[in-house]
Amino acid sequence: MQQEDPDQQFSIKDAISFKKDKHRVEIRKKNIQATLKNKRLNNFIMNMQPNVDNGQQNNSIMQDFNNQDPAQEQGNEITLQFYIQTINQECDSNQFLNQSDKISRCLKILNSHLLCTIKTTDLEYQQQQLIQFMRSGGCECILQFFAEKYDQVPLLQAQSIGMIGNIFSLSNCSILSFLIQSGIVSYLIKLLIRVSEFILAEQQLKQTFQDVKNELLSEIFRTIANMAGESYEYRIELSQNGLIRYLTSDLFGKICININKSIVANIVFLIKNMLCSTPSLKEEITEQFIPLVSAFFLSSDLSLESLQDCVLSIRSYAKFGNTIARAKMLSQGGVFEKIHDLINPNINTDFSIVYYAMSTLKDYMKYQNRQAEYVFNIKGEQIFDFLEYYLNGEIKIQNLNKQDQQSAVTDLQMQAIDILHLYVLCDDPLFFSFIYDQGIKLIQLIMKIAIYSANNKINYKAKEFLFTSIQRSTYEQQKQLVSLNILQVILDAIQEDEISLMYKGLRSLVQLLQVAESQIGQSPEYAQINYVKDIMERSYQFRQVIESVQSHPNNDIYELANEILEIYFKN
């Protein structure tokens, strides 16, 4: 039975629906942006070439490619065919070792054409150029350098793989399908193993040659990572062709002892792409990838992008992995402590990493039974200090304009509310009581958001948190909530258009009234000293609001509103 593609679940009936096209275009734009930003890759392909005296004509043609107008395509296909034929002739003559400089220059010009295609914002033009590139034999030309005989010229292999990476960044379905059918996955995995064995065996090579092999290894990982990020089928293809077996082998373990940051970055990018979009693969490779993710994550020499990829990989375990694997991963070796530290504003100020670290905490607590206690025990009360900091909203995030700054602050506030909400839902009342200690600053901040925030999403989350708090609070804690103006939150919720929020507001009012009624029954003087007095003083306002929803079309709201009026506001 064929597995359902999770990437296509929103468009099973119509594979070319607008929603799917929009989704793919967004992915395509992100891939193009990432490729254009990857100066290391393209500088390597375009500049790391031997100096020659007769390259003036080639440079002129390459400059034409860089400066061409999309409306002027004359000569492009002829020029492409010329350089592709030149490469093929030199390779077929078995003189490629002597002609490697010439071949390298031709590859450089072909890559210039690809980069020019990537840079244009005209998607139709991109499609035409890629089809032209394939029709001219460009893909076959590049793929031939994956053969074992070209291991002697790693520079050519690195150039060709970098060009494959550029093609994948364009997400062109026809060319990608052609590459897959041509066996590119099998070629890449075999080449990956050969290069790894070569690097491991030849420790005494000249540094310049070793650098080329390292760059080749890095580009293989980058291209495989782009494949993994492209579709479910490609991830399955990679897995079936031995990628997981390689990544969990002794060979890979030895290679990782002495690799540069570029290779590490592309490896963690690959792991993230393999994990974060394919639930069915997660179950298969969770156990194998735990040591990999942990080892890279705990490394002290990660770029911000690689650190973010690691956090996203760990988050995928917390959200989708089986419970045993999650517990094993997050409770051993300091992984969880580092996640915790990434939330500390005194240690980390990168918004995206803070956001995903908080999300990892949230997902771990949400999907793993009773893990809130474990989270708390890591570093105790610090977690609440951090959440208070983000809830306060006075955060300065670097390199963001005013609008993005506010959006980022709101996102962090929402994550903080979600985590606190999970604490409130814990079986152990310790955590809920703890939130009310120290002047209940956290509750005050959330109350402020629930009453004054104009952002509907965070306003909704804040109200939900407060209504859950009412349900699980003691009488004394309810008195504190009333003193902080929870009645206004309830009134606002009942007047919302959102049905679920209206209902929760009414239920919360009933909860307060029931507890108050039981207290009055025990001692009538409670009516003068507890929050019943506050409700009584606003009874007219409550009656008006509840009467306004008395005829609501939703049966649950209709019945509850009439029940409240009949029992509590009749007189």
Count other Cβ atoms within 10 Å, centred on residue 568. 19
> Do residues 508 and 467 lie in contact, with contact meaning Cβ atoms separated by under 8 Å?
yes
> Distance between CA atoms of 375 and 352, rounded to whole angstroms?
21
> Distance between CA atoms of 160 and 100, rounded to whole angstroms?
13
Question: Crossing angle, helix 499-522 and helix 475-483, to 10 degrees?
Answer: 120
> Distance between CA atoms of 190 and 241, rounded to whole angstroms?
9
Dihedral (Cα; 358, 359, 360, 366), 10-degree rounding: 110
Q: State the pLDDT at residue 155.
A: 81
Dihedral (Cα; 165, 169, 170, 175), 10-degree rounding: 40
CA distances from 549 to 129, 459, 493, 497, 568 (A): 61, 21, 12, 11, 16
SS (H, E, C) 426-489: CCCHHHHHHHCCHHHHHHHHHHHHHHHCCCHHHHHHHHHHHHHHHHHCCHHHHHHHHHCCHHHH
Burial class (CB in 10 A: 0-12, 13-18, 19+), 410: middle
The amino acid at residue 328 is K
Burial class (CB in 10 A: 0-12, 13-18, 19+), 440: middle
Residues of the chain with CATH 1.25.10.10: 99-273, 473-570
> Do residues 342 and 348 lie in contact, with contact meaning Cβ atoms separated by under 8 Å?
yes
Q: State the pLDDT at residue 467.
A: 93
Question: Crossing angle, helix 39-47 and helix 18-37, to 10 degrees?
Answer: 60
Structure tokens at 162: 């970098």
Rg (CA), the chain: 30
Structure tokens at 353: 């990493």
Structure tokens at 440: 């209940």
Average pLDDT across each block of 10 residues of the chain; the chain has 571 residues. List them in order: 37 28 45 49 43 38 41 57 85 77 84 76 75 80 82 81 75 69 83 83 57 79 85 84 87 83 88 72 62 80 86 79 64 78 84 88 71 63 84 75 82 92 78 70 90 92 93 83 89 89 92 77 55 73 86 88 84 60
> Distance between CA atoms of 360 and 314, rounded to whole angstroms?
7
> Distance between CA atoms of 68 and 83, rounded to whole angstroms?
18
> Do residues 247 and 188 lie in contact, with contact meaning Cβ atoms separated by under 8 Å?
no
Q: State the pLDDT at residue 508.
A: 92
Burial class (CB in 10 A: 0-12, 13-18, 19+), 530: buried
Burial class (CB in 10 A: 0-12, 13-18, 19+), 476: exposed
Burial class (CB in 10 A: 0-12, 13-18, 19+), 213: buried
40 membership: H or E segment, kind and range: helix 39-47
Q: State the pLDDT at residue 63.
A: 44
* CB neighbour list of residue 519: distance below 8 Å, 6 or more residues apart: 475, 526, 530, 532
Quote the longest CA-to-CA distance of the chain.
104
The secondary structure of residue 48, as a DSSP letter, is: -
Domain 473-570: which CATH class? mainly alpha
> Do residues 526 and 520 lie in contact, with contact meaning Cβ atoms separated by under 8 Å?
yes
Nearest to 321 by CA among 353, 296, 285: 285
Over the range 95-133, which residues count as b (16 or more CB within 10 Å of their CB) and which as e? ebeebbebbbbbbbbbbbbbbbbbeeeeeeebbebbebb
First CA to last CA across the chain, in angstroms?
A: 66
CA distances from 337 to 179, 295, 333, 343, 352 (A): 43, 14, 9, 10, 18
- CATH number for the region 99-273 comes to 1.25.10.10
Q: State the pLDDT at residue 463.
A: 95
Burial class (CB in 10 A: 0-12, 13-18, 19+), 315: buried
SS (H, E, C) 518-550: HHHHHCCCHHHHCCHHHHHHCHHHHHHHHHHCC
Nearest to 227 by CA among 194, 186, 198, 279: 186
